[in-house]
């Protein structure tokens, strides 16, 4: 949000000044402190959430579905739903 090429200052003022935002910390991509530093005047309305390691991608899911295999990456109920509704077949 601190990138002026993406967010207009007036929009940031409305969003963070009136509502706030949750920012997910993604340590492999950037330092969250650096990302929110330009927004320090809104610090009371910005909540940083620790990320969790999620190594499941749609590419992996498609490969597992096409190979008709279930792995630990996909919970059983999710695998069944995907198969029942014929998702990720292309």
Please report the pLDDT score of residue 2 as a whole number: 65
Whether residue 3 has pLDDT greater than 80: no
> Tens of pLDDT along 25-66?
877 777 888 888 889 999 999 999 887 776 677 777 777 777
Q: Residue 69: what pLDDT?
A: 66
At residue 54, the 3 state secondary structure works out as coil
Cβ neighbour number for residue 16 with a 10 Å cutoff:
20
pLDDT of residue 71: 65
CA separation, residue 39 to residues 51, 73, 76 (Å): 20, 36, 42
Residues in the chain: 90
pLDDT of amino acid 70: 64
Helix (H, G, I), strand (E, B) or coil at 27: coil
């Amino acid at each position: 949000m601190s990138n002026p090429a993406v967010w207009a200052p007036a929009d940031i003022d409305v969003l963070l000044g009136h509502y706030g935002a949750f920012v997910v910390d993604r340590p492999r991509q950037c330092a969250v402190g650096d990302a929110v530093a330009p927004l320090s005047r809104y610090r009371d309305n910005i909540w940083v959430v620790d990320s969790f390691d999620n190594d499941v991608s749609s590419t992996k899911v498609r490969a597992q579905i096409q190979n008709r295999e279930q792995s630990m990456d996909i919970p059983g109920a999710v695998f069944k739903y995907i198969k029942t509704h014929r998702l990720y077949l292309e």
